Every structure is written in C-alpha cells, then in structure tokens.
Amino acid sequence: SLPPSLLSYLSLSLSIILLSFLLSRSVFLTFLISLPALSLSFTLLIIISNARMMIIIVLSLCATGLLQLVKTHNLLPSRNYIFGYHPHGIFCFGAFCNFGTEATGFSTKFPGIRPSLATLAGNFRMPILREYLMSGGESNIAKRSRANGSGNAVVIVIGGAAESLECSPGNHVVNLKHRKGFVRIALQNGADLVPVYSFGENEVYKQIIFSEDGLLRAVQRKFQKLIGFAPCLFRGRGFFSDDSWGLVPYGKPINTVVGEPITVPKIENPSQEEVDIYHGMYIQSLIKLFDRYKTKFGYADTECLAVM
C-alpha cells in the first residue's frame, strides 16, 4: 500500500488538476497547470522523505565542533520548563541538534531534565507540514506540557514559519510580539519559561528577503497559509567547495545559549493581563540574554535584537 504521505501529495495534486479543469474547461490549460502541481507534490515528498539526510548534515556539524550548547543557569529537576527557541533559521539546526539529540551533551549539562521538541497543535492539521514535523520527532506542545512528573523541558520554536522569512546572515529578528500562546500554556501548567537564543542560526544559509509590500512576499504568505510553511529562496555551499552553490550549510558556528528561567505560577485560567505580564517579562529576558552574549560570539556591541 502507498504511504500516507504519498497519498496526501497525490490527493493534493489531483485536487489542483480537478480545480484547474473546472475553472478553465480547457484540457490544454489543465495539462499546463498539472505538470508543476505534480512536480511540486513529488518534490515535497522527496524533501520530507530525505529528512534523515538533513539529520546527518546536522550531526556532521556537531562532529566538527561548530555547534555548542551554553549553560547559564541550573535547572531544577523538580520543575517543568518551556524553552522558547530563537531564531527559527531555515532548518532549526540548533533546536534539533541540542534538544533532539545528545550531540552537544544536554543531559550532562542539565542532569535530570528531559527535553522534547514540540509545536502548536494546529500545525499538525496541515497535511504537508504535519509529515515534515513528525519526521523530525516533534509533538503537540499542549500534550507535552501536561506530561506527568517533573523535569520535563518542552522546546518550541516560537517564531515559526513567519520568522523563517526574515532569516539571513546578520539579521537578528524574532517574531514574538504577538505570540503569546506558549505563555498561556506555561501559566496553565506552572511551567517556568526559559529563553534560548542561537547565535549563528541565521548565518548557515543565505536567503533572498523580499520587501513586505511586494508580490513575491505576498506569494510566500499565501503558501504559508495553505501548507503551514513558507517557501524560502535560500542557498548554502556546494559539497566540495564554498564557492559553489548547494544545500550544505556554510561552516559557521551555532552557539545556543540557554538563559535564566522565569518562575511561572500555576493558574488554570489565566487572564489576558496575566499572560501579557509574563509575556513582557519573557521578551525583556530574551533581549537581555542577546545583549549579554552577542559580543562573545562575534557580533558588534551595536547589534540589536528586533522583536516584531
């Protein structure tokens, strides 16, 4: 039998073809539209099926010492935590490598803490995005945050697909100002908030960033709404040379700094005011973390973290 992911993409392609025919009533136009539709579907299938290859690339970065996990404060095994990871980057290398594997020694640095990558439940309703997330081992943040016992650390890349459109070398932009759901979940479960910033996450790929009011950015936003993530025009280095183009990430270090936890009380039905208070505390803590470590990892003292 065909795998569910393949059936999803074939269904998507057939839907596009059928819609094209109904709208145009032209076999020729339908044929023209169906070719890129099928190509896109199978391309997405290949990308997701080769998620393991991306894992190998990430682990190779770890092996060469380009990825580092920096501990700033102790975490108590008697507490639960929600890690907010920033920035998204293209492939979230730092998030996956540091918290999805033991490549950088998480359990040694934070004994008694069990990290798990998670995302919002709504992302699993998107057929293409769902398979991509599950291939990387991600789960529902709401379910993870309610896990029994203590010592759980739920890791969520808060900026999501919208933030990936802003990532490029030298860009320090986080999509956080209006993202408050993770704070509400933290309050409902009494899980402490921990800001995490990866210096260098945006340096490993180069991306063409389109203007906010341009047509191409509008197309990216449309795709983001349809399939859950936005197509980015990015490039890395070739397999054998830095001078050629390819998908291999540039050999730039990624230093992931785990900040000081913000103690959060358990409030089953937090008010919007309470959510706003802890959301503001989180933003200030993240900015403070960025400012404290930016010069240590090669950025100018004048660099600022933009919160949008």
Q: pLDDT by residue (tens digit) across 232-288?
A: 888 888 777 777 788 788 889 999 999 999 999 999 999 999 999 999 999 999 999
Residue with the bigger pLDDT between 195 and 127: it is 195
Instruction: Look at residue 60 in the predicted model and tell me its pLDDT.
Output: 55
Q: Which residue has the tokens 């309470």?
A: 274
Band of residue 223 on the pLDDT scale cut at 50, 70, 90:
confident
CA angle 50, 56, 62 (to 5 degrees): 150
For the purposes of burial, counting CB atoms within 10 Å of the CB of 14, is it exposed (0-12), middle (13-18) or buried (19 or more)? middle
Contact 253, 69 (CB under 8 A): no
Instruction: Look at residue 138 in the predicted model and tell me its pLDDT.
Output: 66
3-state helix, strand, coil in the chain (%, to 5): 45, 15, 40
Q: Which residues pair with 115 in a beta bridge?
A: 153
Instruction: Look at residue 140 in the predicted model and tell me its pLDDT.
Output: 67
- Give the closest residue to 206 by CA, choosing from 252, 145, 258: 252
The share of the chain scoring above pLDDT 70, in percent, equals 69
Distances 95 to 67, 69, 75, 91, 191 between C-alpha atoms, Å? 11, 10, 18, 9, 19
Instruction: Look at residue 30 in the predicted model and tell me its pLDDT.
Output: 47
Q: What is the mean pLDDT of the chain?
A: 80
Contact 53, 135 (CB under 8 A): no
Domain range annotation of the chain: 40-299
Q: What sign does the dihedral 303-304-305-308 (CA atoms) show?
A: negative
Give every CB contact of residue 278 below 8 A, 6+ residues apart in sequence.
Answer: 183, 186, 187, 193, 262, 264
The share of the chain scoring above pLDDT 90, in percent, equals 47
Q: Read off the tokens for 279.
A: 């959301």
| pLDDT of 123 higher than 70 | no
Report the alpha-carbon distance of residue 125 to residue 134 in Å, rounded: 12
* CB neighbour burial string for 206-221, b if at least 16 within 10 angstroms, e if fewer: bbebeeeeeeeeeebe
Residue with the bigger pLDDT between 93 and 259: it is 259
Band of residue 114 on the pLDDT scale cut at 50, 70, 90:
very high
Residue range 11-22, pLDDT digits in tens = 555 555 555 444
Beta strand segments in the chain, E: 67-71, 81-86, 114-119, 139-140, 152-157, 173-174, 192-199, 206-207, 234-237, 245-246, 254-258, 306-307
Residue range 133-164, pLDDT digits in tens = 665 566 666 555 556 689 999 999 999 878 98
| pLDDT of 122 higher than 90 | no
Q: What pTM, to 2 d.p., does this model score?
A: 0.78
Band of residue 40 on the pLDDT scale cut at 50, 70, 90:
low
Instruction: Look at residue 76 in the predicted model and tell me its pLDDT.
Output: 98
Contact 116, 139 (CB under 8 A): yes
